[in-house]
Structure 1
Amino acid sequence: MSVRTMPGFRRPFRRLRHIALLGAGSGALLIGGLALAMPRVALEASLQGLSVWWEVLFPALFPFFVLSEVLLGFGIVHLVGTLLDPLMRPLFRVPGVGGFVVAMGFASGYPVGAKLTSRLMEQRLLNREEGERLVAMTTSSDPIFLIGAVSIGFFGRADIAPVLAAAHYGGAMLVGLAMRRSGMRGGGALVPPLPATGGGPLRRIREALAAMHRARLADGRPFGVMLQQALQSSIALMIIVGGLVVFFSAALQLLIHSGLLAALRQGFMLALQAFGLPASLSDAFVQGTFEVTLGSRAAGNGLSGLALPPLIDRVAAAAFVMSWAGLSVHAQVAGLMSGTDWRYGPFVRARALHAVLAAALVYLLWPLLFHGPL
């Protein structure tokens, strides 16, 4: 009998699970009570979340959801996987198909990386540890949101985009490297490493094309059926994403107006002061804990009524919030990964690590990449 299967070892984890379920139920009951007590706040916050979903998230994510399904059906993922296998396995200990997820995740933002990873896990192209590493690394903002919404929209400064992008995406790559050793004692990869072949790049390309052809034959769906199913599944996913955005937007505003987040804000103020940072950034961290858009906007504006913090500190706060991604994105990722054996624990630890690394990289890269006026 292994240690993990001993009754004495499993009992504390059952207690933690029961406590977590009780906490989630109590939180839902609290939000429901606040919504009944403050219906106008709930309605306005819900409309604000709905506006963000319809005007920003739907046009940004829906095409990528459909495109990813079509590319999977055509076997493009297998082609990319064969080409990138010699790079992805040594660096991140994931098969080459992870390179496709990294590219799509960075280009289209959260939660596309989780959506693609879940599909690859369902197709048994990734095991649990590989999927967890891939989701942790690819849960990131898209460049349009980082540059257009945060840098230009919230900060009014296009010149901070290079620092913010390098810190955010560089932190994601460092998370992938840091998680290389996770699951070392688990089962082996579902897809074994491709054998080293002679013949150079041309032979690798021929093998990649052959892998794509085999995957297309195995799928077998006509293009019309494939596109119809891609549209149906993508619309269903967008409705789930929209519901979570609306819920967390309303929950955050209800908690703020009720004063229940005052203790959390005070805690962030004390932590920031302990590190020599402006306490006026606490609003960004409080709101960013729940929702990335609201937290990034608060980082650009500072805390109303207090002096505006230095630009470098506000950019570091925005990098922290975008890399943590907010509980709204966490819920989206958990929903997309619910059909697999993925675990939330490694994901939340990776998000915290990514947030800290991204904020630290802002201070490290600031003298090198920022050349605008302060």
Structure 2
Amino acid sequence: MGKEKKGRVFTVILATMAVIFTLALVVYPKAGYEAGMEGLKVCWEIIIPSLLPFFIVSELLLGLGVVRGFGVLLEPLMRPLFSVPGVGAFALSMGLAAGYPMDAVITARFRETNQCTRIEGERLLAFTNTADPLFMFGAVAVGMFKSPALGGLLALAHYISSFLVGVAFKFWGRKDPTHLKEMQEREEIRTQGNILVRAFQEMLAAREQDGRPFGKLLGNAVSESVQTILMISGFIVFFAVLIEILHISGIMAVIGWPVALIYHLFHIHGGLVGPTLAGALELDIGSAQAAAVHAPLLQRLALVSGIIAWSGLSVHAQVASVLTNTDIRMKPYFIARFLHAFLAALITVVLYLSGMGREAARAMAPLTEHTAVLTAEGTHSFWQIASSGLSLWLMGLVVLLACSFVFAMAKRLRIIRFYARIK
């Protein structure tokens, strides 16, 4: 009864927040429309061209058995380092090439096809959730900081911290009884002999087990990939509109008071409060805002590095949706993202102070007059909006909306299924 009552209360809260968010869109129709169009532009110009080919190719490689074959070859490398099967190298490489949430899509497919245990899937998600190099070198270093040399610093910090997270999560769930049982069964059926022969045999066995003709395999790969892309695009548009509504209604400034106090305590530039909150929700928007603030370069780099590693609640929601049909939990994923963000920011500071970022700082192009004006306006607007009395009822309700959404993702977006069971 306790869980049932708690679930009903949570449903009422979510329903109320959905209604309030709808009213906010009615109150701010122009802002919501423009934010939605910007989100669609990102999807059309960046997300679809960059991710869709990787999704299709990954489905083909899985169906043809190539991934399982390479998994046998890479088992001696991945198992000692990260305690994951060799196929995890495929998730890692595709995550590096295409960025998030490619790793989650592949890990979910591994779990659905029983190529990894639940614990191994959670370990994989912990360190394969990385940004692609093109984003850090192109969009962030060149587009936002106007310095290509900073791309190397950000990428190095990002991938070193990801590797450390993977090593740390090697011990995650090692005493889980279900995991131990599955691992024991896998060891018993594992064949001995030449590793190349075993890899070839596993590839043929996986292809035979799939059984779909190539034409059907290709068609399914395209249709499933397009469906995944539409889901990702929908989250991007939703969070773009949510961030804009939170900003213009003044809620972002209200939420930022605790962050502002912490930053003041540690002598961090106050103009980074807004980008921190935006980056917690969506990494592209937060990174762009942080790069534009007229704050010390080291602080901006550390914050951007942490935002990229955290990847934003938008990506977290995408990952949760991808994992809905599996038993992989979101709790270790959240822990890994916090750890990754902290380590990435820390390593960025260490690399910068060691001299790696100073030459890049000298080569940076000065901020344009337009950027400086936007930065000044953004810095002052935080405190101006926070002190204004803009729709206090709307502020409180939308704050609850944000908190409820985070809680829903922590429950892996299984709310509908939960209620179907208790009924």
Residue equivalent to 1:204: 195
Q: Does the Cα contact within 8 Å between 2:104 and 2:319 map onto a contact in 1? A: yes
Q: CA deviation at 1:321?
A: 0.7
In 2, the alpha carbon distance for the partners of 1:42 and 1:143 equals 31
Aligned residue among 330, 337, 344 for 1:351: 337
What letter matches 2:258 in structure 1? G
What letter matches 1:324 in structure 2? W
Q: Does the Cα contact within 8 Å between 2:191 and 2:198 map onto a contact in 1? A: no
Aligned residue among 51, 62, 72 for 1:61: 51
What letter matches 1:332 in structure 2? Q
Q: Does 1:272 align with 2:263?
A: yes
In 1, the alpha carbon distance for the partners of 2:134 and 2:9 equals 39
Q: CA deviation at 1:197?
A: 5.8
Residue equivalent to 1:73: 63
Distance 1:259 1:121, change over 3 A: same
1:297-308 alignment runs, 5 A limit: 297-302=288-293, 308=294
SS class of match (2:267): coil
SS class of match (2:276): helix
Aligned length: 355
Q: Does 1:178 align with 2:176?
A: no
Q: CA deviation at 1:136?
A: 2.0
1:160-309 alignment runs, 5 A limit: 160-186=150-176, 187-188=178-179, 190=182, 192-193=186-187, 203-302=194-293, 308-309=294-295
Distance 1:74 1:169, change over 3 A: same
In 2, the alpha carbon distance for the partners of 1:167 and 1:16 equals 42
Task: State percent identity of aligned pairs.
Answer: 37
Q: CA deviation at 1:22?
A: 5.2
In 1, the alpha carbon distance for the partners of 2:211 and 2:355 equals 51
Q: CA deviation at 1:15?
A: 7.5
RMSD, aligned CA = 2.1
In 2, the alpha carbon distance for the partners of 1:162 and 1:291 equals 23
Residue equivalent to 1:305: none
Q: Does 1:335 align with 2:325?
A: no
Farther-moved stretch of structure 1 (180-189 vs 49-58): 180-189
Q: Does 1:313 align with 2:299?
A: yes
Farther-moved stretch of structure 1 (265-274 vs 277-286): 265-274
What letter matches 2:142 in structure 1? I
In 2, the alpha carbon distance for the partners of 1:14 and 1:157 equals 54
In 2, the alpha carbon distance for the partners of 1:159 and 1:225 equals 46
Q: Deviations over 1:273-302 (max 9, x none)?
A: 223322221122111111111011011101
Residue equivalent to 2:37: 47
TM-score of the two chains, using structure 2 as the length reference: 0.79
In 1, the alpha carbon distance for the partners of 2:17 and 2:93 equals 36
Distance 1:103 1:362, change over 3 A: same
What letter matches 1:148 in structure 2? G
Residue equivalent to 1:362: 348
In 2, the alpha carbon distance for the partners of 1:87 and 1:338 equals 29
In 2, the alpha carbon distance for the partners of 1:162 and 1:274 equals 31
Farther-moved stretch of structure 1 (132-141 vs 334-343): 132-141
Q: Deviations over 1:107-136 (max 9, x none)?
A: 110001000011110111112111111112
Q: CA deviation at 1:18?
A: 6.2
Residue equivalent to 1:3: none
Q: CA deviation at 1:372?
A: 2.2
Aligned residue among 65, 78, 83 for 2:73: 83
What letter matches 1:359 in structure 2? A
What letter matches 1:34 in structure 2? A
Q: Does the Cα contact within 8 Å between 1:284 and 1:321 map onto a contact in 2? A: no
- Which runs of no fewer than 5 residues in structure 2 stay unpaired? 363-423
Q: Does 1:107 align with 2:83?
A: no
